[in-house]
Amino acid sequence: MSTLKIRPRRLRRSENIRAMVRETSLSVKDFVYPIFVVPGENIKEEIPSMPGCYHLSVDKAVETAKEIASLGIPSVEVFGLPEYKDEIGSSAWDMASPVQRAIAAIKKAEPDLVIVGDVCLCQYTNHGHCGRLCDHEVDNDGTLPLLQNVAVSQAQAGADIIAPSDMMDGRVAAIRDALDSKGLTNVSIMSYAVKYASGYYGPFRDAADSAPQFGDRRGYQMDPANVREAMKEVSLDIAEGADIIMVKPALAYLDVVRLVRDNIVQPVAVYNVSGEYAMVKAAAQNGWIDEKRIVLETLTSMKRAGADIIITYHAIDAAKWLKG
């Protein structure tokens, strides 16, 4: 007779029993798919450091949006490369810029798709920093009115959610004020509240041509060593009116995701960033890992850590895999 009374393996014996006791489920409804819109027409060019992701002209962005919607992915986040750059990033709020045109065109083609507009200036400034400069330093308060312009222009183009990623202090309140004063009270704010100064953004900066021309972003993005500070950022953004709170990057910060999830009632989003994506793609292309298995395991870990929303370049592949 066995002396073992408790045998955890009993509940792992078949796929159906594992399904019955599974604690975390991953769904296509968790995903937001980021796209990069560029000037021009009929352009779909693969981004070298992000295989499977493309620079898309507005017409091709609409095609991609239709594919996203047909797969059941609820949302798209729009990034853009502008036609011109200047000191203050004024193309970021030009209604004729690729982002604003793409938002409007996608809204028209797929009215139910939730459109997230990324609000930042680094793709639009000639120095590549996320705000306007004053003596070679990013000027926090001088940047807020510019972010207000960007947010309002994207919302007027048709964005449902405004997602500020610049890490200026006070920008959520400033953006909320600006939206409300234009009657855009139904537009939500998803704040990149906890955004670390991370090496994992490398491929994105190539894709978005947004690398700083001098210095780095440590003066405004968070120190990767800090976690209490994450709650400080989250509390401020909630007080300023953020509807959704984001932690970014995802994989190296799952402890932060869990902490935030346990301490607030708002939905928590994570950004599974470009460097995380590129590492998986590179290893998969070398035949060193099983891509499908690794991607689904990784996305599940983000859900398990407490994320409600996952912004991921894997969304299209994962949606297909989840369909089985």
**Beta carbon nearer to ligand PBG, 64 or 165:** 165
Please state, in angstroms and as integers, the Cα–Cα distance from residue 212 to each residue in 39, 130, 205, 218, 272, following that order: 21, 8, 9, 11, 21
Contact indicator for 142, 154 with CB cutoff of 8 Å: no
Helix axis angle for 58-70 and 315-323, nearest 10°, is 30
Both structure tokens of 238: 């909630």
Of 30, 118, 237, 240, the one binding ligand PBG (CB under 6 A) is 118
Minimum CB separation of residue 14 from ligand PBG in Å reads: 38
Contact between 122 and ligand PBG by CB under 6 A: the answer reads yes
Of Zn ion, ligand PBG, none, which one does residue 273 interact with (CB within 5 to 8 Å by kind)? ligand PBG
Contact between 120 and ligand PBG by CB under 6 A: the answer reads yes
- Per residue in 210-241, is it b (16+ CB within 10 Å) or e — as a string? beeeeeebeebbbebeeeeebbebbebbbebb
Helices marked H in the chain: 15-21, 58-70, 98-109, 140-157, 171-181, 202-208, 228-239, 254-263, 274-285, 291-305, 315-323
Minimum CB separation of residue 210 from Zn ion in Å reads: 6
Both structure tokens of 272: 């599974």
320 among known catalytic residues: no
- Pairing mode, if any, of strands 188-195 and 133-134? unpaired
Of Zn ion, ligand PBG, none, which one does residue 233 interact with (CB within 5 to 8 Å by kind)? none
Contact between 36 and ligand PBG by CB under 6 A: the answer reads no
Contact between 54 and ligand PBG by CB under 6 A: the answer reads no
Per-position x/- string for 150-169, each x denoting binding to ligand PBG as judged by CB under 6 A, each - no binding: ---------------xx---
**Beta carbon nearer to ligand PBG, 130 or 247:** 130
Both structure tokens of 179: 């939206």
Of 201, 268, 298, 310, the one binding ligand PBG (CB under 6 A) is 201
- Selecting among 248, 292, 320, 323, the annotated active-site residue is 248
* Residues near Zn ion, by CB under 5 A: 120, 122, 130
> What string of DSSP letters covers 87-104?
TT-GGGG-TTSHHHHHHH
* Piece of 24-32, 37-45, 116-124, 175-183 that binds ligand PBG (CB under 6 A): 116-124
Phi and psi of 167, rounded to 5°?
A: 70, 25
Residue type at 113 in one-letter notation: L
Of 274, 284, 303, 312, the one binding ligand PBG (CB under 6 A) is 274
Of Zn ion, ligand PBG, none, which one does residue 205 interact with (CB within 5 to 8 Å by kind)? ligand PBG
Contact between 302 and ligand PBG by CB under 6 A: the answer reads no
Contact between 273 and ligand PBG by CB under 6 A: the answer reads yes
248 among known catalytic residues: yes
Please identify the residue of the shown chain whose CB is closest to the bound ligand PBG.
Answer: 204
Interacting residues with ligand PBG (CB under 6 A): 118, 120, 122, 130, 165-166, 201, 204-205, 210, 217, 273-274
